[in-house]
Amino acid sequence: MAIKFGRPIELREQAPRSSVYDAPSLGLSTRLRRNRKSEWARRLVRENAVTTDDLIWPLFVVEGDNARTPIASMPGVERLTIDQVVRDAERAVALGIPCIALFPYTDPALRDETGSEAWNGNNLVCQSVRAIKKEFPDLGVLCDVALDPYTSHGHDGLLQGGRILNDETVAVLVRQALVQAEAGCDVIAPSDMMDGRVGAIREALDDAGFGDVQIMAYAAKYASAFYGPFRDAIGSAKALNGDKRTYQMDPANSDEAIREVELDLAEGADMVMVKPGMPYLDIIRRVKDTFAVPTFAYQVSGEYAMIMGAINNGWLDRDRVIMESLVAFKRAGADGVLTYFAPEAAERIRAGR
Ligand SMILES: NCc1[nH]cc(CCC(=O)O)c1CC(=O)O
Ligand SMILES: [Mg+2]
């Protein structure tokens, strides 16, 4: 016999006549719940979907051979040696992910005051691009342009007397972009937030015969605490002196994001990005509504870490929270998302879950 609260269910009294279940109908003509009554009906009225075409997968590269090193603050993400990054590129191709993004963990011995390894045409990123393009020429490869993986001080630009120089930094970012294009990179993504860098890079690419290399500008990039795990991944967290608030945007600003995007588009950006993602969905929506250009969100390392930390503690349901976090970007107006969840998302989309 079924027991609840110590009494056999069969012996519990019937609900009294005027029970809570007897309220009169509200006589509503419109009931939004009708369209939610079953899975097929929900599918029919669903407004947004994440598809594999929307995904860009960021990968971390490190010197060495046949090694994958876990990154503690990004559970499930690893630093990969070049041979292994090629294997993940193969996985991207197999899953139908259109594009990957490369970030280097530079040997500390190669980091210096000016970040000169950034424009070494044989640096880790350039070697990786060549190795990937050799095996998978049709996979999109995006390269970040900024000095932070290469500088001893961890900043994205040249530092002098405690200031980050703008125009001098742009001149070296141009050199960085050119070696990446030379290596075969398809999309140059300046993430440094110097003024005028998109125009300078566009002009240099065109002059060097790289007219087809696209630019995805990290246009509205905020000085965010959500980049912490990324800085662990590329080894710039300990190195970083101070913060990036003299070049990355103030998280309190919204109109300024419109000005940033407007300038980058005027300078020749093919696509723009808002970063971080989830705390800045309002910015994605404003950018998309204002400019109607290809707009991307970066679901950054801290967002990934937050979600994975909660999943691994059993506090959030992995089977639901990852895709919910991604469809939010589509709902906000993004055309695509850079996300460390890209392979899992692609697998889930393929399996229909
Ligand atoms: N300029 C470097 C760069 N490119 C992408 C990220 C962050 C990505 C992430 O957190 O996942 C950063 C970090 C930063 O600006 O400090
Ligand atoms: Mg700008």
pLDDT digits (tens, 9 = 90+) for 57-91: 999 999 999 999 999 999 999 999 999 999 999 99
Q: Residue for token digits 């990934």?
A: 304
Q: How confident is the model at residue 4 (pLDDT cuts 50, 70, 90)?
A: low
Cβ-contact 81, 62 below 8 angstroms: yes
- Joined together, the tokens standing for residue 19 give 């029970």
CA–CA distance, 345 with 353 (Å, rounded to integer): 9
- The one-letter code for the residue type at 161 is G
Q: For a substitution probing ligand 1, which of 79, 158, 191 has the most ligand atoms within 8 Å of its CB?
A: 191
In the reported structure, the alpha carbon of residue 36 is separated from the centroid of ligand 1 by a whole-number distance in angstroms of 40
- In terms of DSSP H, where are the helices of 228-280? 228-233, 255-266
User: Would the CB of 232 count as within 6 Å of ligand 1?
Assistant: no
In the reported structure, the alpha carbon of residue 114 is separated from the centroid of ligand 2 by a whole-number distance in angstroms of 21
CA–CA distance, 17 with 23 (Å, rounded to integer): 11
User: Would the CB of 150 count as within 6 Å of ligand 1?
Assistant: no
Q: Return the sign of the alpha-carbon dihedral for residues 308, 312, 316, 321.
A: positive
User: Would the CB of 156 count as within 6 Å of ligand 1?
Assistant: yes
> Which of 133, 244, 275, 288 is the catalytic position?
275
In the reported structure, the alpha carbon of residue 145 is separated from the centroid of ligand 2 by a whole-number distance in angstroms of 13
CA–CA distance, 31 with 25 (Å, rounded to integer): 12
Q: For the chain, how big is the Rg over CA atoms in Å?
A: 24
Residues with Cβ < 8 Å from 183, sequence gap 6 or more?
Answer: 121, 125, 126, 127, 129, 130, 133
Residue 236 CA, closest ligand 1 atom number = 16
User: Would the CB of 301 count as within 6 Å of ligand 1?
Assistant: yes
Q: How confident is the model at residue 177 (pLDDT cuts 50, 70, 90)?
A: very high
Answer yes or no: 221 catalytic.
yes
Cβ density class 258-272: b for 16+ within 10 Å, e for less: bebbebbbebbbbbb
pLDDT digits (tens, 9 = 90+) for 255-270: 999 999 999 999 999 9
Question: In this predicted structure, what is the pLDDT of residue 1?
Answer: 45
Q: How confident is the model at residue 353 (pLDDT cuts 50, 70, 90)?
A: confident
In the reported structure, the alpha carbon of residue 277 is separated from the centroid of ligand 1 by a whole-number distance in angstroms of 12
Cβ-contact 198, 177 below 8 angstroms: no
Q: What is the ipTM of this complex?
A: 0.97
Answer yes or no: 244 catalytic.
no
For residue 200, which ligand has an atom nearest its CA? 2
- Nearest by Cα to 264 from 256, 272, 254, 255: 272
- Joined together, the tokens standing for residue 258 give 């419109």
CA–CA distance, 236 with 250 (Å, rounded to integer): 21
pTM of the entire predicted model: 0.94
